[in-house]
Structure 1
Amino acid sequence: MNDTLGQIVYQPTNALEALWFNFVDYFGEDFLISYGTFFAHEIFYFLAFLPFFLCDFVHALRKYKIQPTKVNDWKTQFNCLLKVMGTHIFVQLPMMIVFHPAIHSIGLRARVPLPSGWYLLFVLAVSFVLEDAYFYFVHRFLHQGFWYKYIHKVHHDHASPFGMAAEYAHPIETLILGVGTCLGPFLLSRDLFTLWAWLAVRLFQTVECHSGYDFPWNPTKLIPFWGGAHFHDFHHETFVGNYSSTFTYFDRLFGTSDKYYARMEMRKKEEELLANKKAK
């Protein structure tokens, strides 16, 4: 590394790092931290939504839809798109620009050595845990009185959610929950590559969680305490319980998922009775 005009210039140590450094040098660190993060967010978000959008046109996949009688009509999806894009452009983008000096002052950089694969996985895992804890308590609070009636209720316009509705929310809610999204990367890494990697997996997780589809082959089912689409869909359908964004243990601990598990147990018994009748 060289010290040029008081700034450290890192030299790449592998091909991926060289590619990333060339990318950063071409667009510029300041541009990428604010505007680049906005464009990365848009790409990750809508690419995550695309496969679930296509599921609506594959008849064989209808059996995996959690609320099969609900149809994601074009008008609903178009109105959702307008609301989401409005929030992205007029809330998230200005927020990224306004807070750019503060983000830079705490040490977020783009042209720094990339994390090792293991450390990146560690940051992603811890980020999920931190964001989930923050989200549970804030989300539960947003279901109270004034906060629900005038702010969080917007997100519940979709009782049968679909992927794009993940960020369909009141601007104030977007700002509040955005804090939880940033906790892990800012506390543990402060490099743009890790922040974008986290954005990619977190956006896919929240889009999948709101997708309205529960596929038995989803690899996240192997992750302990993972909630998934079926768990969160219950929250949208009933407006109560299952407040966590990712995991189930906070809801289990505080009893806010009792109604969900009671329904699951009841449906299991109904299926067993039906199977027994068919067997006779």
Structure 2
Amino acid sequence: MLPYQILEEAETALGRNLTFAETIWFKYSSQKSDYFLYCHNTIFLFLFYTLVPLPYVFMELMQSKNIDKFEIQSKVKNSFPDMFRCYKTVMQTFVLAVGPLQLFSYPVIEWVGIRTGLPLPSGSEMFWQLLVYVVVEDYTNYWLHRLLHCEWGYEKIHRVHHEYTAPIGLAAPYAHWAEVLILGFASFLGPLMVPRHMITFWLWMILRQAKAIETHSGYDFPWTPTKYIPFYGGAKYHDYHHYVGGRSQSNFASVFTYCDYIYGTDKGYRYQKEVFGKLKEKLRSKGEENGDAYHIFAQDLKSK
């Protein structure tokens, strides 16, 4: 909670007028506890995984040829009951796993010093902090994800997430409750290492969830802004990991692909890219759908 009762007190303490953003923040947060502000992350989680995947749900149900041509695994279709079942399971996991985590993690957040007061961080400060969070999460998530693909980790925990061999946006957090906690640690590590303002923390969590939904969307749109981010994996990159399934030892990356490249866990995907174009042209010459090429190639990998 801010230590100021009125706006003028805050301006006197800072020795300047508040910016427009700081004024909004003061009016919103001045009478709210730090714990309540921290709990916004749970609210964002429920709202994001309810609202953001909806366009993908509508596209799946529409079955429009103009949209389906961008679907990575066009042979796989999900009904509304199937998708609602997925959503319901995800919400139950959030209640059972994320709720308790919220209670136990706040003392750590308070101890490391994530602040809620004034002044607010500048745009450049937030950018560099978020970049650190992304890199830390990406590297940690890579190894935790890879660990979950060992025999015990996969059979006991990670196989739940791989029930969707053709990912959909709603299934981004569809996982065993233990996996939610294990991979959640990777998301928290950056803010714990470089603690700054609660707004930066909020923004990081929002970006993290938006990224997860996009990479699990099942659609590869050529105009997606993330295609302009160097070394960004994206939906097609992660879709390969899901299709190959439990035996997959490739494409563990959370955001960027550099770990897979450095540690050689993208060889199958790179081989696919090398031969996929030729197979795609061959099928196209026979008048078959583009999606068949991916399906046939990945099925061939499964059988090896």
Check conservation: 1:209, 1:228, Cα contact below 8 A: yes
State how far apart, in whole Å, the 1-side matches of 2:3 and 2:173 are: 42
Residue from 249, 253, 258 that aligns with 2:258? 249
Check conservation: 1:112, 1:191, Cα contact below 8 A: no
Residue from 100, 122, 132 that aligns with 2:128? 122
Once the 2 structures are TM-superposed, how far is the Cα of residue 25 of structure 1 from its aligned partner? 2.2
Residue identity matched to 1:187: M
Where does structure 1 lack aligned partners over 5 or more consecutive residues? none
Residue identity matched to 1:84: V
Return 19-28 or 148-157, whichever deviates more.
19-28
**Percent of pairs with identical residues:** 37
Q: Can you list the C-alpha shifts for 1:89-110, whole angstroms capped at 9, x where unaligned?
A: 1110111112222221221222
- Tell me which residue corresponds to 1:17: 22
**Per the alignment, in what secondary structure is the counterpart of residue 251 of structure 1?**
helix
**Per the alignment, in what secondary structure is the counterpart of residue 20 of structure 1?**
helix
Residue identity matched to 1:63: K
Return 9-18 or 256-265, whichever deviates more.
9-18
**Per the alignment, in what secondary structure is the counterpart of residue 167 of structure 1?**
coil
Check conservation: 1:161, 1:210, Cα contact below 8 A: yes
**Per the alignment, in what secondary structure is the counterpart of residue 159 of structure 1?**
coil
Return 105-114 or 89-98, whichever deviates more.
105-114
Residue from 9, 33, 43 that aligns with 1:28? 33
Check conservation: 1:212, 1:233, Cα contact below 8 A: yes
Residue from 36, 42, 45 that aligns with 1:38? 42
Alignment of 1:159-178 (within 5 A): 159-178=165-184
- Tell me which residue corresponds to 2:107: 101
How many residue pairs match? The answer is 273
Residue identity matched to 2:53: F
Is 2:75 aligned against 1:69?
A: yes
Once the 2 structures are TM-superposed, how far is the Cα of residue 261 of structure 1 from its aligned partner? 1.6
- Tell me which residue corresponds to 1:47: 51
- Tell me which residue corresponds to 1:190: 196
Check conservation: 1:44, 1:199, Cα contact below 8 A: no
**How large is the Cα RMSD of the aligned pairs?**
2.2
State how far apart, in whole Å, the 1-side matches of 2:59 and 2:280 are: 26
TM-score, length of structure 1 as denominator length:
0.90
Check conservation: 1:136, 1:243, Cα contact below 8 A: yes
Return 184-193 or 229-238, whichever deviates more.
184-193
- Tell me which residue corresponds to 2:238: 232
Residue identity matched to 2:89: K
State how far apart, in whole Å, the 2-side matches of 1:174 and 1:28 are: 27
**Per the alignment, in what secondary structure is the counterpart of residue 64 of structure 1?**
coil
Once the 2 structures are TM-superposed, how far is the Cα of residue 54 of structure 1 from its aligned partner? 2.6
Task: Go from structure 1 to structure 2 and tell me whether the alpha carbon gap of 1:19 and 1:257 turns closer, same or farther (over 3 Å shift).
Answer: same
State how far apart, in whole Å, the 2-side matches of 1:68 and 1:58 are: 10
- Tell me which residue corresponds to 1:214: 220
- Tell me which residue corresponds to 2:292: none
State how far apart, in whole Å, the 2-side matches of 1:3 and 1:80 are: 44
Is 2:267 aligned against 1:267?
A: no
Task: Go from structure 1 to structure 2 and tell me whether the alpha carbon gap of 1:260 and 1:218 turns closer, same or farther (over 3 Å shift).
Answer: same
Q: Can you list the C-alpha shifts for 1:78-134, whole angstroms capped at 9, x where unaligned?
A: 221121101111110111112222221221222332211111111222211111100
Once the 2 structures are TM-superposed, how far is the Cα of residue 271 of structure 1 from its aligned partner? 3.6
- Tell me which residue corresponds to 1:138: 144
Residue identity matched to 1:97: L
TM-score, length of structure 2 as denominator length:
0.83
State how far apart, in whole Å, the 1-side matches of 2:3 and 2:35 are: 19
Residue identity matched to 2:23: A
State how far apart, in whole Å, the 2-side matches of 1:276 and 1:164 are: 35
